[in-house]
Structure 1
């Protein structure tokens, strides 16, 4: 059943902003995060629930491949941002994040290696993932737009997903996630820092809202594509009470 049908990130933020006109940059960030939480709460129950069972080996490998792909792409596109990041503070923070994302990729590939998967060469992402991760995340006119999409909207979603799925993971993969999650918290703090310092005009806030809303939409499309992929591979039933990824 859908709760608060039609709620969007932008609508939720504007509702919050109406209660606190003239918000500071930090307050705007809090409104944005609250808007994301409200939009997630408005998802259907089956889409708001992660895996409700231990993963099979085949399903786990698919999930690990997706996560490794996501982390590798993040290291690549954030690395490309650095040449076009004039803000010294953001440059230093993003440079650290590149290292983090590369380390996460290594941790996930080691988990795959223990399961006989040596590389992602034979694995192909879904078109929805390419639109979301390969094209949308790297885009953005400036540091503010890029960080609003990836570090604020994307990393909040990614960290929440990892926390939700962790109880269904085998011990070695859960241990890898435990090493990744503290870095995700740093990446989210990076997002807050950038918004607090540079999202100070109405025009900037409108751009951030657009980036957050579109990222949220692409994320949900990407998760739906994951569910369809699992069904196509015979690893889950889309008609089950709780699809595997939402």
Structure 2
């Protein structure tokens, strides 16, 4: 059996390779529409953070491994704080933070994640914290870079108040895999869970891109 640390490194590389060129939520080739896209991402972020609070709260009772379970309440608090920060910033910009209507595919993604609470810890934390939060960090890095000249205050909010927490959340996934993915069977569970998550998120991104291209 490959060592656990080697497996985690390889799985991170597989996730990164999956997402190469696939995050289609922002279109830097359209600078005229970029600010509108950023505002949309912020409103979507309000929804995402609130649903993340919901799913973490749903999962905590179903994580029997205490050393992992004890890390989740802080993540829950972080997600709720991000929700409040984004709502406040949108209000400062004269935007209504509650106008975001999630795509059915995006709502279904979170509904599915909440329902995953019954799955083994190695699977669900591979999906959300290891695969999902790591990909979110990369998305936030892109958003910060694109927003820097258009809205530096928002870029700074993401850089200093949100992104560091997201990296810590992804580290929870890594800690989980290092602790639990210690057999070939569990490693295969984690790999399949990451693939499942990546495909579901990508399908939702494609639906978002189609909506954006229609100007909705």
Kept after mapping to 2: 8 A contact 1:137/1:150 = no
Stretches of structure 2 that go unaligned for 5 or more consecutive residues are none
CA distance in 1, matches of 2:32, 2:92: 18
Kept after mapping to 2: 8 A contact 1:129/1:222 = yes
Which protein is richer in helix relative to its size?
2
Pairing partner for 2:154 from 162, 169, 173? 173
Kept after mapping to 1: 8 A contact 2:59/2:114 = no
* CA-atom RMSD in angstroms: 2.2
Normalising by structure 1, what TM-score?
A: 0.78
CA distance in 2, matches of 1:25, 1:107: 37
Q: Larger Cα Rg: Structure 1 or Structure 2? A: 1
What residue in structure 1 maps to residue 14 of structure 2?
35
Residues 1:57 and 1:205: Cα distance change in structure 2 (over 3 Å) = same
Q: Does 1:148 align with 2:130?
A: no
1:137 offset after TM fit, Å? Answer: 5.6
Kept after mapping to 2: 8 A contact 1:85/1:91 = yes
Q: Does 1:213 align with 2:192?
A: no
* SS of residue paired to 2:71: helix
Kept after mapping to 1: 8 A contact 2:123/2:190 = yes
Kept after mapping to 2: 8 A contact 1:72/1:102 = yes
CA distance in 1, matches of 2:46, 2:107: 14
Normalising by structure 2, what TM-score?
A: 0.88
CA distance in 1, matches of 2:191, 2:109: 17
Output aligned runs, 1:69-80, within 5 Å: 69-80=47-58
Q: Deviations over 1:120-168 (max 9, x none)?
A: 2x43100111222232365151222111000011011100011012122
